[in-house]
Amino acid sequence: MKNEYDYIIVGGGIIGLATAYKLALKCPKKTILILEKEAQLASHQTGNNSGVIHSGIYYTPGSLKAENCINGRNQLISFAKNHNISFEMCGKLIAAFEENEIESGQRVWNILQLRLHQSIIDLKKKVDAAPKDKIFDVDLTYLTSRGNWYYTSWKGDQSKSGGIATNIGVHFYDMLSWIFGEVQENRVHLREKNKAAGYLEFKKARVRWFLSIDEADLPIDIRKNGQRTYRSITVNNEELEFSTGFTELHTDSYREILNGKGFGLKEARQSIEIVHKIRNVELTTNGEKHSLITEK
Ligand SMILES: Cc1cc2nc3c(=O)[nH]c(=O)nc-3n(C[C@H](O)[C@H](O)[C@H](O)COP(=O)(O)OP(=O)(O)OC[C@H]3O[C@@H](n4cnc5c(N)ncnc54)[C@H](O)[C@@H]3O)c2cc1C
């Protein structure tokens, strides 16, 4: 082994190797030595990362970091193409949470309209005033029949709407977590295209829930009256009066936002995590079930 080199690079990760590569291209006559303490190259961060080809979006537009990142990305892609290394441009979905708000200086407001419904506000006050260790029993049933249009629109496409628990249920899960606190357990008993059911345990409540857009699930008397929606929330077997008071909630939400009192990402987080889990968790037959499930 020679003991004199024009360049010595310590570390055989991507940075050391890319530096050596560029030096070799620029000065083909110079000698370069890479010193690596492990038995093989790239055995630390470089060989264990997530494999994302970054696009510079995290950096201030026009900054040196952003420029450097985009430059590196373009070089990486052309290197891969020139050397027949396969890669995939699968796109990226970015969900803004608080850090991003701080970074951008902008707020992202959410429409969590049930928090503005008077019956819900009253229920929250009641739960807040109850002894700290009190656990409420809640049954949530929301049956709202939808025509064929639902299945042919984006709403019927799970990859676009997230399915009925996300599309139809998310406001209920937000309301429940706002009133009853952190989620302790999230079990799903049924997850079909037109109905879903499960059990949610919050710090202060055990909730059995059932959602459906299937007309056949509507109680007969409701169907006979020509109604297409049945909504019931019972708390310790007491029905929550919840049939009216919805029409202005959107307008009220926007009014609050304009007054600087909207709901930020932090407030929306728990319901998003709940529906994410409902979409992905394995179905179970265990645990407390909604009565419409047990009857099936
Ligand atoms: C969990 C994780 C996920 C990531 N995901 C991505 C991603 O998706 N996309 C992306 O672009 N970047 C990603 N990164 C960042 C990226 O992997 C690193 O920025 C990059 O690999 C750093 O390369 P490096 O050569 O500086 O370090 P390393 O790969 O850690 O290489 C340093 C080398 O130096 C050697 N060394 C240390 N001390 C000595 C010594 N005294 N003598 C000899 N050799 C020594 C080490 O053995 C090692 O091989 C990720 C990083 C992590 C940790």
Q: What is the pLDDT of residues 282-293, one digit of tens each?
A: 999 988 999 998
User: Could you give the CA distance from residue 34 to residue 9 in angstroms, rounded to a whole number?
Assistant: 5
CA of 22 to the centre of ligand 1 (A): 18
Mean pLDDT of 158-163: 89
Q: Taking the model in full, what pTM does it have?
A: 0.57
Task: Evaluate: CB of 50 within 6 angstroms of ligand 1.
Answer: yes
Residue ID of nearest Cα to ligand 1 atom 27: 13
Task: Evaluate: CB of 54 within 6 angstroms of ligand 1.
Answer: yes
Task: Evaluate: CB of 12 within 6 angstroms of ligand 1.
Answer: yes
Confidence of residue 96 (pLDDT cuts 50, 70, 90): low
Task: Evaluate: CB of 76 within 6 angstroms of ligand 1.
Answer: no
Task: Evaluate: CB of 16 within 6 angstroms of ligand 1.
Answer: yes
Q: Contact, 187 vs 284, CB < 8 A?
A: yes
pLDDT at 29 over 90: yes
Residue ID of nearest Cα to ligand 1 atom 37: 11
Task: Evaluate: CB of 68 within 6 angstroms of ligand 1.
Answer: no
Task: Evaluate: CB of 45 within 6 angstroms of ligand 1.
Answer: yes
For the chain, what is the mean pLDDT?
A: 90
Q: Contact, 191 vs 182, CB < 8 A?
A: no
Q: What percent of the chain has a predicted confidence (pLDDT) above 90?
A: 61
Task: Evaluate: CB of 13 within 6 angstroms of ligand 1.
Answer: yes
Q: Which atom of ligand 1 is nearest to the CA of 11?
A: 34
CA of 46 to the centre of ligand 1 (A): 4
User: Could you give the CA distance from residue 164 to residue 143 in angstroms, rounded to a whole number?
Assistant: 11
CA of 15 to the centre of ligand 1 (A): 8
Q: What is the pLDDT of residues 200-217, one digit of tens each?
A: 999 999 999 999 999 999
User: Could you give the CA distance from residue 134 to residue 127 in angstroms, rounded to a whole number?
Assistant: 9
CA of 88 to the centre of ligand 1 (A): 22
Q: What percent of the chain has a predicted confidence (pLDDT) above 70?
A: 94
DSSP string, the chain: --S--SEEEE--SHHHHHHHHHHHHH-TTS-EEEE-SSSSTT-SGGGSS------STTS-TTSHHHHHHHHHHHHHHHHHHHTT-------------HHHHHHHT----B--GGGG-HHHHHHHHHHHHS-TT--EEEEEEEEE---HHHHHSGGG-HHHH--HHHHTTHHHHHHHHHHH-SEEEEEEEEE-SSEEEEEEEETTEEEEEEEE--GGGS-HHHHHTT--EEEEEEETTEEP--SS--TTHHHHHHHHHHTT--B-HHHHHHHHHHHHHHHHSPP---S---HHHHT-
Confidence of residue 7 (pLDDT cuts 50, 70, 90): very high
Q: What is the pLDDT of residues 228-283, one digit of tens each?
A: 888 899 999 999 977 777 778 888 998 998 888 889 888 999 999 999 999 999 99
pLDDT at 65 over 60: yes
